[in-house]
Amino acid sequence: MWSSLTEGLLKGDIKSLARCITLVENDVAGADQFMQSLPLSSIPVLGITGPPGAGKSTLTDALIEQIIKAGKKIAVLCVDPSSPFNLGAVLGDRIRMSRWYNHPDVFIRSLATRGALGGLHPYILEVTDICKTAGFDYILIETVGVGQSEVEITGLADATIVVLIPESGDEVQTMKAGLMEIADLFVLNKADRPDADLFARHLRLMLAPAFKAGKREVPIFKTVATENKGIQELWVALQSFLASEHFNEQKSWLLAEKVYRLIQQKRMKDVNKEFLLQAIKTQMSKTFNLYRFAADYTSEQNQK
């Protein structure tokens, strides 16, 4: 099964791609060996993140259009937050993007986070790498977040675009340092609103100390994604960023970050929360200490 799928995948067959993703997501036997057999690819991964309502989907839609116009192929992964309890995804409004669903050069997949403890999606790394081998020119990952998830996308994307709107003042204030370090490019969307210029000036002022400290200046692009305004300029800038030195320097750091996640995934694979819950229920008493319990569990497992 795996060898014919791999063959199809490397030829860019969409059915093989979709099937590989599903098999890896479900951790079917042979998935590990399959991942280990894939060739290293340097296809660029674009990350788009920002607070809810900033227009990330509309911007993604506009970027797809640029890529298709240039005669290139793109895979889009939409990561949606899900509830940690019912494991149901809160799939956002993807209506605007729907015109691409049947386009032969566009592959779109929605991934629910499945309540992964502190993760974008348990197999987002694998899914991205599978897509990379299927003959696309770009991979784009879109994710909602004003918290941890946008930090995580920097460990995954070669270029991270942080989308803000003139109303995002509060988020910017809170995530100040974080945003500065995360963004390779800022997009100020809905820039036709009256307070857009003021916000852009404000953002530049806030970023200024970091530039003075010798960091790369992070450009701010004003767009009105619904009207396709500013998109081409953004696209040109993205391409020149991907060709820059800065991008190359990030490469090994990115790989280290990914390997760290893979190791974490491997090491936690055998820990079953339901089992822990039952074990705790039977041991609960006045003298229960969870640090001792965790230590005992870990040393028991190590002896196996």
Instruction: Give the shortest CB-162-to-its own copies separation in angstroms.
Output: 13
Identify residues 250-289 at the interface with its own copies (CB under 8 A).
252-253, 255-264, 266-268, 271, 273, 276-277, 280-281, 284, 286-289
Nearer to its own copies among residue 92 and residue 219 (C-beta): 92
Should residue 205 be labelled a site residue for its own copies when binding is judged by CB under 8 A?
A: no
CB atoms within 10 A of CB 196: 17
Using alpha carbons, select from 230, 227, 221 the residue that is nearest to residue 187.
221
Virtual torsion, Cα 109, 244, 146, 266, nearest 10 deg: 60
Three-state DSSP at 244 gives: coil
- Does 47 sit near its own copies (CB under 8 A)? no
Q: Looking at 7-15, 101-109, 199-207, 291-299, which segment touches its own copies (CB under 8 A)?
A: 291-299
Per-residue DSSP letter, 97: G
- 151-170 burial, b for 16+ CB within 10 Å, e for fewer? ebbbbbbbbbbbbbbbebee
Minimum distance between the CB of residue 255 and its own copies, rounded to whole angstroms?
5
User: Does residue 219 belong to the site contacting its own copies (CB under 8 A)?
Assistant: no
Kindly tell me the sign of the dihedral angle through the C-alpha atoms of 267, 27, 127, 58: negative
The DSSP symbol for 229 reads B
CB 41 within 8 A of CB 133: yes
- What mask of x and - would describe binding to its own copies in positions 9 to 38, judged by CB under 8 A? -----------------------x--xxxx
State which of positions 77-96 bind its own copies (CB under 8 A): 81-86, 88, 90, 92
Select from 6-14, 115-123, 216-224, 227-235 the region that touches its own copies (CB under 8 A). 115-123
Q: Are 96 and 132 within 8 A, CB to CB?
A: no
Q: Which is nearer to its own copies, 144 or 203 (CB)?
A: 144
Q: Return the SS3 of 89.
A: strand
The nearer residue to its own copies, 56 or 106, going by C-beta atoms, is: 56
Tokens of 230: 């500013």
By CB under 8 A, residue 304 contacts its own copies: no
**Long-range contacts, stretch 90-93, CB < 8 angstroms, 24+ apart:** 92/57, 92/144, 93/57
Interacting span for its own copies (CB under 8 A) from 6-14, 63-71, 133-141, 294-302: 294-302
One residue of 65, 105, 137, 181 binding its own copies per CB under 8 A: 181
**Least distance (Å) between residue 35 CB and its own copies:** 4
For position 151 contacting its own copies by CB under 8 A, the verdict is yes
Contact (CB, 8 A) for 15 and 106: no
What is the closest distance, in whole angstroms, from the C-beta atom of residue 51 to its own copies in the complex?
Answer: 7
